[in-house]
Structure 1
Amino acid sequence: MTRSTGAQSGTALAESPADGPMVRVEDLHRSYGTGAAAVHALRGVSFEIPRGELVALKGRSGSGKTTLLNLVGGLDTPDSGRIAVGGTDLSGLGEDGLLGLRRDRIGFIFQSFGLIPILTAAENVGVPMRLRGTDPGEREDRVALLLSLVGLGDHAQQRPGELSGGQQQRVAIARALANRPALMIADEPTGQLDAETGLAVMQLLRAVVRSEGVTLLVATHDPQLLGFADRVLELSDGHIVEHA
């Protein structure tokens, strides 16, 4: 069980050793709106995620799961508290720094897949490497490897509309791995899939964590999928109420 130790100085957070936790969240607060109408999405959330673990985040709709994922992924900023990813304090990064973090060190998987309809599966997987300026030959080799990893080596030239929901999510997983991220963040990745396909996708994510050595933080409402996690965090009304 991970126990929070309270907020530390920004310097201490930024100088976490390479073998320290992949994610450290300390006393995180995030609200939307002001006054009596304010919604307190997160109220003093603290936890750590060791490197190479699959951690599931559960909680009912509106409990703050997506808000927390967006903050850890550098897509949003907290009202107070600190977040470190791989020893880097996000509060010390400007917009360019956060962009680089998201491009190079974090992979995102969304419930809606987020694929570009006019591009083939291979082209979708290659997008992050194009943005990074990866050599075309290296990019093509990496795309082929990743599509093979997710079981879609024979579907490289198909567009999203020609693929099933489960296949589209597999393409999205391959794309999230394109730039060899240290951390992957998945928001309800099986939410649009039937139970059998969702189970297969979670089995794939579990295998990816082991084979690629990445850390995965995944939000899910499906109790069946929690068994794949090394640890489960439960959010309720903006608080962590359970570490299992």
Structure 2
Amino acid sequence: MGTEEPLVAVEGLRRVYRSGPKEIVALREVSFEAAPGELVAVRGRSGSGKTTLLNLVGGLDRPDAGRVTVAGHEVTALPEEGLLELRRDVVGFVFQSFGLIPVLSAAENVGVPMRLCRTPVAAREERVRVLLSLVGLTEHAGQRPYELSGGQRQRVAVARALANRPRLLIADEPTGQLDSQTGRQIMRLIRALVRSEGVTALVATHDPALITLADRVLELRDGVLAPA
């Protein structure tokens, strides 16, 4: 990856949650970089800070200290409107719970981000067709989420996350609701899409079998990055 500028740069992130007089430090002085086209796994026990870290990088939450830069955008300095644009145009999200709209078909779910961007109909339909083909769901385009298996629903969610050609894909325990074999298929799919689409991916997982597919692994322990 040479001397290429990092796509993601995280410097000194700290996040504290307060519950009455108590303070819970979720992240302490976390710093790392991710290169363009790199698949970085973030592992750690439940409560180690994985979701907090991903939310801060993706602009879903703000840190108490530190800085995040994604594709040249200083996420931590953006106003709310800028964060909306970042999440629409630069970052794609995949969640453990799939997050599909029940009344829409697989194809319509994948097309939602492009509707929000007012992508012309012909271009939108072609992109949906390409993405459903990439995730192996061409024959299921007209089916609604309840007609699909868990693995198929997560494939739709991955395709939707890539709809607007994001530079960064953030996946928070994307295999958490799937059996191990299906989970491995989803991680292989993300691995293949990172390569074919040139996307950087940040994937939180605690599944050791899935870690092996990453280019690099970051381990969080009680909100601190463990030494490599």
TM bin, normalised by shorter chain, reads: over 0.9
The CA RMSD measured in Å over matched residues stands at: 1.2
Q: Residues of 1 paired with 2:127 and 2:156: CA distance?
A: 13
The match for 2:32 among 22, 43, 47 is: 47
Q: Residues of 2 paired with 1:36 and 1:20: CA distance?
A: 42
Q: Does 1:67 align with 2:52?
A: yes
2:42–2:50: 8 Å Cα contact kept in structure 1?
yes
2:58–2:91: 8 Å Cα contact kept in structure 1?
yes
Q: Percent identity?
A: 67
The TM-score normalised by the length of structure 1 is 0.91
1:54–1:209: 8 Å Cα contact kept in structure 2?
yes
The TM-score normalised by the length of structure 2 is 0.97
SS in 2 for 1:242: coil
2:151–2:182: 8 Å Cα contact kept in structure 1?
yes
2:59–2:76: 8 Å Cα contact kept in structure 1?
no
Q: Does 1:217 align with 2:218?
A: no
SS in 1 for 2:170: strand
Where does structure 2 lack aligned partners over 5 or more consecutive residues?
A: none
User: Who is 1:127 aligned against?
Assistant: 112
Residue 171 of structure 1 aligns with an amino acid whose one-letter code is V
Shift of 1:90: 1.3
2:135–2:189: 8 Å Cα contact kept in structure 1?
yes
Can you list the C-alpha shifts for 1:29-85, whole angstroms capped at 9, x where unaligned?
Answer: 000006751110001100001110000000000000000000000000000100000
Q: Does 1:108 align with 2:93?
A: yes
Where does structure 1 lack aligned partners over 5 or more consecutive residues?
A: 1-16
1:56–1:229: 8 Å Cα contact kept in structure 2?
yes
2:67–2:75: 8 Å Cα contact kept in structure 1?
yes
Q: Residues of 1 paired with 2:158 and 2:19: CA distance?
A: 37
Post-superposition, which runs of at least 4 consecutive aligned residues in structure 1 deviate over 2 A? none
Residue 151 of structure 1 aligns with an amino acid whose one-letter code is G
Q: Residues of 2 paired with 1:88 and 1:34: CA distance?
A: 32
1:20–1:87: 8 Å Cα contact kept in structure 2?
no
User: Who is 1:138 aligned against?
Assistant: 123
1:122–1:147: 8 Å Cα contact kept in structure 2?
yes
User: Who is 2:13 aligned against?
Assistant: 28
SS in 1 for 2:226: strand
Q: Does 1:230 align with 2:215?
A: yes
Matched pairs, number: 226
User: Who is 1:198 aligned against?
Assistant: 183
1:21–1:87: 8 Å Cα contact kept in structure 2?
no
Can you list the C-alpha shifts for 1:170-213, whole angstroms capped at 9, x where unaligned?
Answer: 00000000000000000000000001100111110100011000
User: Who is 1:12 aligned against?
Assistant: none
Q: Residues of 1 paired with 2:53 and 2:88: CA distance?
A: 19
Q: Residues of 2 paired with 1:138 and 1:144: CA distance?
A: 10
Q: Residues of 2 paired with 1:229 and 1:190: CA distance?
A: 14
